[in-house]
Amino acid sequence: MDSIFAPYLTREPQVRLCPEQNATGEFEGIEGLIYEGAPLKGKKTKVFAYRGYPKNAEANEKLPAVVLVHGGGGVAFLPWVKQWNERGYVAIAMSNTGDFPIAENAGYTESDTIKQLWHHGLCGDFSEEGYADAPGNDGMKHSEAPVEEQWMYHAVAQTILAHNVLREDPRVDASRIGIVGVSWGGIITTLTIGYDNRFAFAVPIYGSAYLAEARGPEPAVYFKEGRNPELWLAEHRLDNAKMPILWQCETADMAFSLNSNNHSYLHSRSNNPLTRMSAVYDMHHSHKRAWVRHEALAFADAVCKGAPMLPTLVQEKGRVVCDDPAAEIVSMRVYYLTEPMTYERNEKNQMIMQQKWQWQDLAVADGAAEFAVTDGMFDPYFELIFRIGDETLLTSIPYEK
């Protein structure tokens, strides 16, 4: 299994531009393209993507870049590409569910109706003899099928190949390419970096490793026993991921529980001292909620542009200390529950955490704060809010006994 994606790491990307799908209006300059994905039942597959460039870059400047991996119900999002372009990065966002645009600017926004602008499977000008439809997101429900027919296999292969597209781009610095994924895209990102360690940085948002240990939310159920868990447990390959990782999550997420992100962070931080965690209270769960958080952008700037690294906290006996003496600290807190974390379904059949987070503001002196975690505190973690330039950002660490 460890070599299953090896052929894709060295495969030269087969890219064709789709000028009829170039974005217009506020997204002008972002181009549509297709590249070949993983084969399916003896036929080739196609992947649609948007790729954009910073508008004010020097002609011969080698630029940092990022692969953007959408989550469930998502598509290749134009605003996401634009956000990273405006930050100075070449960005590629692909559809990892075999969807193709059937309207201008089809990746405009996240809404309940966005899928009406896309068609699953080859259609119109995208149809071609010898090609099959790439699998759609089946939520891992068919993870006992032959591996080459599974959606996750194709999603990871497509992500590695998108990385190859950027690496072959003459405007891109291949040593400064990162990856960011949201929700299911966070899972895909976490799996991909275990197979492809060429990325300069990685930011899985919501989704992580250790999903079989989640406290109840879906899609964690499909990584538990009975769904071929050994095939797709990302923690089995996290030691291969030597790049800095930012694990970002919502502390009461309806789809992922905090303990999975905690374990992912604790496992991977020994691989790279720049690895960080950002557990955000009341972040909620959506692509848009991920985009408005700027930790991923600032983290990328630190790795790829020499900007200040996101400071974090170091736990010592009876206190936590900011690891950067020069950091502009806004606040420190300890968050905790008053009973063990549990999830139940609400009237909308959503998995909802049943407890409410409590917190205590910590008194900061010289970049450190004292704390006392008692037996009545469950799942405690520490939060650091700080400023870098004009951005207010957040990192966190789980409490360790």
Q: What is the pLDDT of residue 56?
A: 87
pLDDT tens profile 114-136: 889 999 999 999 999 999 999 99
d(Cα 390, Cα 401) in Å, to the nearest integer?
Answer: 35
Q: Is the pLDDT of residue 139 over 90?
A: no
Backbone dihedral region for residue 379 (phi beyond 0: left; psi -120 to 50: alpha; all else: beta):
left
Residue 201 CB partners (closer than 8 Å, separation 6+): 178, 179, 243, 244, 245, 246, 299, 300, 303, 304
d(Cα 21, Cα 99) in Å, to the nearest integer?
Answer: 14
Contact (Cβ atoms closer than 8 angstroms) between residue 69 and residue 182: yes
Instruction: Calculate mean pLDDT across residues 138-155.
Output: 91
Instruction: Calculate mean pLDDT across residues 9-32.
Output: 96
pTM above 0.95, yes or no: yes
Q: What is the pLDDT of residue 231?
A: 79
d(Cα 148, Cα 200) in Å, to the nearest integer?
Answer: 28
Q: What is the pLDDT of residue 227?
A: 66
Q: Indicate the pLDDT class of residue 5, thresholds 50, 70 and 90.
A: very high
Q: What is the pLDDT of residue 111?
A: 77
Q: What is the pLDDT of residue 399?
A: 97
pLDDT tens profile 236-272: 999 999 999 999 999 999 999 999 999 999 999 999 9
CA distance readout (Å), 128 to 122, 125, 195 = 8, 8, 30
Burial (CB < 10 A; 0-12, 13-18, 19+), residue 346, is: exposed
Both structure tokens of 392: 């207010």
Q: What is the pLDDT of residue 388?
A: 97
Instruction: Calculate mean pLDDT across residues 140-162.
Output: 93
Neighbours of 396 (CB within 10 A): 27
Q: Is the pLDDT of residue 140 over 60?
A: yes
Contact (Cβ atoms closer than 8 angstroms) between residue 63 and residue 172: yes
Instruction: Calculate mean pLDDT across residues 75-85.
Output: 97
Instruction: Calculate mean pLDDT across residues 351-360.
Output: 96
Q: What is the average pLDDT score of the chain?
A: 95
pLDDT tens profile 361-384: 999 999 999 999 999 999 999 999
CA distance readout (Å), 151 to 37, 140, 158, 301, 397 = 12, 7, 10, 32, 33
Q: What is the pLDDT of residue 144?
A: 82
Backbone dihedral angles phi then psi of residue 368, each to the nearest 5 degrees: -140, 160
From the list 188, 235, 241, the residue with the least C-alpha distance to 211 is 235
pLDDT tens profile 317-334: 999 999 999 999 999 999
Tell whether omega for the bond before 219 is within 30 degrees of 0, i.e. cis.
yes
Q: Indicate the pLDDT class of residue 226, thresholds 50, 70 and 90.
A: low
Backbone dihedral region for residue 226 (phi beyond 0: left; psi -120 to 50: alpha; all else: beta):
left
Q: Tell me the percentage of the chain whose pLDDT exceeds 90.
A: 88
Contact (Cβ atoms closer than 8 angstroms) between residue 187 and residue 219: yes
Burial (CB < 10 A; 0-12, 13-18, 19+), residue 343, is: buried
Q: What is the pLDDT of residue 2?
A: 57
Both structure tokens of 334: 């300890």
Q: Domain 6-310 sits in which CATH superfamily?
A: Alpha/Beta hydrolase fold, catalytic domain (3.40.50.1820)
From the list 187, 194, 250, the residue with the least C-alpha distance to 220 is 187
What is the CA angle 48-53-59, rounded to 5?
A: 135
Contact (Cβ atoms closer than 8 angstroms) between residue 166 and residue 35: no
Q: What is the pLDDT of residue 216?
A: 81
d(Cα 56, Cα 93) in Å, to the nearest integer?
Answer: 20
pLDDT tens profile 173-218: 999 999 999 999 999 999 999 999 999 999 999 999 999 999 988 7
Contact (Cβ atoms closer than 8 angstroms) between residue 206 and residue 183: yes
Instruction: Give the bridge partners for 315, in sequence order.
Output: 320
From the list 112, 158, 118, 103, the residue with the least C-alpha distance to 135 is 158
